[in-house]
Amino acid sequence: MNILWDNIFRKAKKENDIRTVLKENALFHDLSDRELSFVQDIVHVRRYHSGEAVFRQGEVGVGMYIIVKGRVEIYVTDPTAAEDAFRDIYITQLLEGDFFGELSLVEENGRRTASAVARDETTLIGFFKPDLMEILERSPSAGVKIIFRLAEVLGRRLKETTDKVSDLRKTLKEMREPPPMTPYE
Protein backbone atom coordinates (compact mmCIF):
# COMPACT_ATOMS: atom_id res chain seq x y z
CA MET A 1 0.00 0.00 0.00
CA ASN A 2 2.88 2.41 0.69
CA ILE A 3 4.11 1.98 -2.89
CA LEU A 4 0.75 3.15 -4.18
CA TRP A 5 0.80 6.25 -1.99
CA ASP A 6 4.44 6.96 -2.84
CA ASN A 7 3.61 6.94 -6.56
CA ILE A 8 0.63 9.22 -6.12
CA PHE A 9 2.62 11.76 -4.14
CA ARG A 10 5.64 11.51 -6.45
CA LYS A 11 3.42 12.18 -9.49
CA ALA A 12 1.80 15.18 -7.77
CA LYS A 13 5.24 16.57 -6.87
CA LYS A 14 6.46 16.14 -10.48
CA GLU A 15 3.39 17.97 -11.82
CA ASN A 16 3.92 20.76 -9.27
CA ASP A 17 7.56 21.06 -10.33
CA ILE A 18 6.56 21.51 -13.99
CA ARG A 19 3.88 24.01 -13.01
CA THR A 20 6.34 25.96 -10.84
CA VAL A 21 8.93 26.07 -13.62
CA LEU A 22 6.30 27.29 -16.09
CA LYS A 23 4.97 29.93 -13.69
CA GLU A 24 8.49 31.26 -13.06
CA ASN A 25 9.33 31.44 -16.77
CA ALA A 26 9.11 34.89 -18.36
CA LEU A 27 6.80 33.70 -21.16
CA PHE A 28 4.18 32.20 -18.84
CA HIS A 29 4.56 34.47 -15.81
CA ASP A 30 1.40 36.52 -16.53
CA LEU A 31 -0.94 33.55 -17.02
CA SER A 32 -3.82 32.88 -14.64
CA ASP A 33 -3.94 29.53 -12.82
CA ARG A 34 -6.50 28.24 -15.33
CA GLU A 35 -4.38 29.34 -18.32
CA LEU A 36 -1.27 27.85 -16.72
CA SER A 37 -3.06 24.51 -16.27
CA PHE A 38 -4.00 24.59 -19.94
CA VAL A 39 -0.37 25.22 -20.95
CA GLN A 40 0.86 22.53 -18.57
CA ASP A 41 -1.34 19.99 -20.36
CA ILE A 42 0.11 21.00 -23.75
CA VAL A 43 3.87 21.15 -23.10
CA HIS A 44 6.19 18.17 -23.53
CA VAL A 45 8.57 16.90 -20.83
CA ARG A 46 11.63 14.99 -21.96
CA ARG A 47 14.72 13.65 -20.23
CA TYR A 48 18.17 13.78 -21.83
CA HIS A 49 21.27 11.82 -20.90
CA SER A 50 24.59 13.56 -20.32
CA GLY A 51 26.17 14.28 -23.71
CA GLU A 52 22.90 13.92 -25.62
CA ALA A 53 22.12 16.64 -28.15
CA VAL A 54 18.89 18.56 -27.65
CA PHE A 55 19.35 19.99 -31.14
CA ARG A 56 22.18 20.68 -33.58
CA GLN A 57 23.21 23.84 -35.37
CA GLY A 58 21.57 24.01 -38.80
CA GLU A 59 18.51 21.91 -37.92
CA VAL A 60 15.08 23.44 -38.46
CA GLY A 61 13.90 24.83 -35.13
CA VAL A 62 10.38 24.01 -34.00
CA GLY A 63 10.30 25.29 -30.45
CA MET A 64 11.94 26.31 -27.22
CA TYR A 65 13.06 24.44 -24.12
CA ILE A 66 12.97 25.27 -20.42
CA ILE A 67 15.40 23.51 -18.08
CA VAL A 68 13.61 21.80 -15.20
CA LYS A 69 16.66 19.93 -13.93
CA GLY A 70 20.27 19.64 -15.09
CA ARG A 71 22.32 21.86 -17.38
CA VAL A 72 22.70 22.48 -21.09
CA GLU A 73 25.71 23.87 -22.92
CA ILE A 74 25.40 25.89 -26.10
CA TYR A 75 28.00 25.61 -28.88
CA VAL A 76 28.50 26.95 -32.38
CA THR A 77 30.51 25.14 -35.03
CA ASP A 78 33.19 27.14 -36.85
CA PRO A 79 32.99 26.03 -40.48
CA THR A 80 36.28 27.81 -41.26
CA ALA A 81 38.29 25.77 -38.75
CA ALA A 82 40.87 23.39 -40.18
CA GLU A 83 39.86 19.74 -40.41
CA ASP A 84 42.00 18.73 -37.43
CA ALA A 85 41.21 21.86 -35.36
CA PHE A 86 38.65 22.13 -32.58
CA ARG A 87 35.56 23.27 -34.46
CA ASP A 88 33.03 23.63 -31.62
CA ILE A 89 33.13 27.00 -29.88
CA TYR A 90 31.61 27.07 -26.40
CA ILE A 91 29.09 29.90 -25.98
CA THR A 92 27.41 29.46 -22.60
CA GLN A 93 26.01 27.10 -19.98
CA LEU A 94 22.33 27.21 -19.03
CA LEU A 95 20.94 25.99 -15.71
CA GLU A 96 17.60 25.18 -14.09
CA GLY A 97 14.96 27.76 -14.97
CA ASP A 98 16.84 29.03 -18.04
CA PHE A 99 15.27 28.68 -21.47
CA PHE A 100 16.57 28.64 -25.03
CA GLY A 101 15.43 28.26 -28.63
CA GLU A 102 12.53 30.70 -28.32
CA LEU A 103 13.30 32.38 -31.66
CA SER A 104 11.98 29.28 -33.42
CA LEU A 105 8.50 30.08 -32.08
CA VAL A 106 8.30 33.05 -34.47
CA GLU A 107 10.59 32.05 -37.37
CA GLU A 108 9.24 30.30 -40.43
CA ASN A 109 11.50 27.28 -41.05
CA GLY A 110 14.35 29.01 -39.22
CA ARG A 111 17.55 27.06 -38.70
CA ARG A 112 19.18 26.62 -35.31
CA THR A 113 22.13 28.99 -34.99
CA ALA A 114 23.84 26.85 -32.35
CA SER A 115 23.86 23.36 -30.86
CA ALA A 116 22.47 22.52 -27.42
CA VAL A 117 23.86 19.54 -25.50
CA ALA A 118 22.79 18.16 -22.10
CA ARG A 119 25.75 18.02 -19.71
CA ASP A 120 24.01 16.15 -16.89
CA GLU A 121 20.94 13.99 -16.67
CA THR A 122 18.63 16.79 -17.75
CA THR A 123 14.87 17.30 -17.80
CA LEU A 124 13.47 19.82 -20.26
CA ILE A 125 10.05 21.21 -21.00
CA GLY A 126 9.52 21.53 -24.74
CA PHE A 127 7.16 24.25 -25.95
CA PHE A 128 6.73 24.11 -29.72
CA LYS A 129 5.19 26.31 -32.39
CA PRO A 130 2.15 24.00 -32.86
CA ASP A 131 1.59 24.26 -29.08
CA LEU A 132 1.63 28.06 -29.30
CA MET A 133 -0.77 27.96 -32.25
CA GLU A 134 -3.14 25.69 -30.31
CA ILE A 135 -3.10 28.07 -27.35
CA LEU A 136 -3.78 31.04 -29.63
CA GLU A 137 -6.72 29.18 -31.16
CA ARG A 138 -8.25 27.72 -27.99
CA SER A 139 -7.40 30.48 -25.48
CA PRO A 140 -6.62 33.70 -27.33
CA SER A 141 -6.13 35.74 -24.14
CA ALA A 142 -3.45 33.32 -22.89
CA GLY A 143 -1.87 33.24 -26.34
CA VAL A 144 -1.65 37.03 -26.50
CA LYS A 145 -0.03 37.16 -23.05
CA ILE A 146 2.57 34.62 -24.17
CA ILE A 147 3.22 36.42 -27.48
CA PHE A 148 3.71 39.79 -25.74
CA ARG A 149 6.16 38.27 -23.27
CA LEU A 150 7.94 36.45 -26.12
CA ALA A 151 8.30 39.76 -27.98
CA GLU A 152 9.70 41.36 -24.83
CA VAL A 153 12.26 38.56 -24.38
CA LEU A 154 13.32 38.64 -28.03
CA GLY A 155 13.62 42.45 -27.92
CA ARG A 156 15.77 42.32 -24.77
CA ARG A 157 18.03 39.63 -26.26
CA LEU A 158 18.37 41.63 -29.49
CA LYS A 159 19.38 44.71 -27.50
CA GLU A 160 21.96 42.69 -25.52
CA THR A 161 23.38 41.29 -28.76
CA THR A 162 23.52 44.75 -30.34
CA ASP A 163 25.35 46.10 -27.27
CA LYS A 164 27.88 43.24 -27.41
CA VAL A 165 28.50 43.76 -31.14
CA SER A 166 29.02 47.50 -30.53
CA ASP A 167 31.49 46.76 -27.73
CA LEU A 168 33.39 44.30 -29.96
CA ARG A 169 33.56 46.82 -32.81
CA LYS A 170 34.90 49.44 -30.43
CA THR A 171 37.53 47.01 -29.14
CA LEU A 172 38.56 46.04 -32.67
CA LYS A 173 38.84 49.67 -33.68
CA GLU A 174 41.05 50.40 -30.67
CA MET A 175 43.25 47.42 -31.52
CA ARG A 176 43.75 48.65 -35.11
CA GLU A 177 44.58 52.26 -34.22
CA PRO A 178 48.15 52.96 -33.20
CA PRO A 179 48.52 54.17 -29.64
CA PRO A 180 48.71 57.95 -29.28
CA MET A 181 52.23 59.31 -29.26
CA THR A 182 53.53 60.79 -26.06
CA PRO A 183 55.26 64.19 -26.15
CA TYR A 184 58.65 62.57 -25.52
CA GLU A 185 58.62 60.25 -28.54
pLDDT digits (tens, 9 = 90+) for 30-44: 999 999 999 999 999
Encode pLDDT of 56-66 as tens digits: 999 999 999 99
In a domain, 169, yes or no: no
Is residue 170 assigned to a domain?
no
Q: Mean pLDDT over residues 155-181, rounded? A: 84
Q: Is residue 173 part of a domain?
A: no
Helices (H), the chain: 2-24, 33-42, 129-138, 140-176
The whole-chain average pLDDT of the chain stands at 87
Residue 129 falls inside a structural domain: yes
Is 26 part of any domain? Answer: yes
- For residues 106 and 162, what is the distance between their CA atoms, to the nearest angstrom? 20
Enclosing H/E stretch for 30: none
Task: Look up the domain containing 136 and give its range.
Answer: 2-163
CATH number for position 72: 2.60.120.10
Q: What is the pLDDT of residues 129-167, one digit of tens each?
A: 999 999 999 999 999 999 999 999 999 988 988 988 888
Q: What's the distance, Cα to Cα, between the start and end of the chain in Å?
A: 89
Residue 175 lies inside a defined structural domain of this protein: no
For every residue of 137-152, DSSP letters joined together read HH-HHHHHHHHHHHHH
DSSP 87: -
How many separate domains does the chain show? 1
The 3-state DSSP class for residue 126 equals strand
Determine, yes or no, domain membership for 62. yes
Residue 66 lies in a domain: yes
